[in-house]
Structure 1
Amino acid sequence: MGRDRSKPLRKDWEECKIQIMKEALLAKVQQHSSIKSILLFTGDCTLVEHTTNDAYWDDGGNGQGQNMLGKLLIEIRNDLDEHIPEFYPPQWIAFPDYPPFSMGWRMGAGEDYIMYLSEWRGKQSPEALKE
């Protein structure tokens, strides 16, 4: 419905759109533990919504957009009382619906998870990895 331009926008949309988006994102994070985990697993990484569709909520596809969606996600992540876990579960536990040779491991959430898992493993001592 938000993309349907035949419906008029609220008169105060420009003043309240950031707060409304933040409330919607926060509701998603609070209602879906998997989304919350993925957000926490991003650690202190900069989050960018990379697409040419929008230069306000996204980066405009060329990095010149305002990336407000990414900024709000970072703000929500930083406000969460929880911390990044000291242990990353194996990918078959984190993503039980992805078959072993699924395209999901080469793009999307599975690929991101493998990338962060690999980075995390690289920082662990041999003793910690054995444990």
Structure 2
Amino acid sequence: MQVRSDWESVKIDVMYRALKCKFSIYPHLNSMLLSTAGSVLVEASPHDLFWGGGREGEGLNYLGRLLMQLRSEFLGESSAASENTCIAL
């Protein structure tokens, strides 16, 4: 499979949009996310140091960061919430 040439520059936005759709379409997932209010979310992947936090916290944890951003937006704590529409297929 070939990865699009600009993947490195768009992957965070693509993941954000996918997560926003996922947590907007499925109320039970949205509730689970909102129930973590006040907690730091870390993707506990010992191997993926971009999306995950790594074994010793050396990872960038972009998945956790995006989930916390979405949580803030859903809770109305952020004015950066976009109005993108998600379509369930």
Same fold, judged at TM 0.5 (above)? yes
RMSD between aligned alpha carbons? 1.5
Q: Report Cα offsets for 1:65-124 as digits up to 9, x if no partner.
A: 0000000000000011469xxxxxxxxxxxxxxxxxxxxxxxxxxxxxxxxxxxxxxxxx
Unaligned 5+ segments in structure 1 are: 1-6, 84-131
**Residue number among 60, 66, 70 corresponding to 2:64 in the alignment:** 70
Specify the alignment match of 1:40 in structure 2.
34
Name whichever structure is richer in helix by fraction: 1
Instruction: Name the larger-Rg structure.
Output: 1
Specify the alignment match of 2:87 in structure 1.
none
Q: Distance in 1 between matches of 2:25 and 2:47?
A: 27
The number of residues matched between the two structures is 77
Q: Distance in 1 between matches of 2:48 and 2:75?
A: 31
TM-superposed CA distance for 1:13, in Å, is: 0.3
**Which letter maps to 1:41?**
S
Q: Distance in 1 between matches of 2:37 and 2:24?
A: 18
User: Do structure 1's residue 58 and structure 2's residue 48 form an aligned pair?
Assistant: no
Task: Choose between structure 1 and 2 for higher RCO, CA contacts under 8 A separated by at least 6 residues.
Answer: 2
Unaligned 5+ segments in structure 2 are: 78-89
TM-score normalised by length of structure 1: 0.56
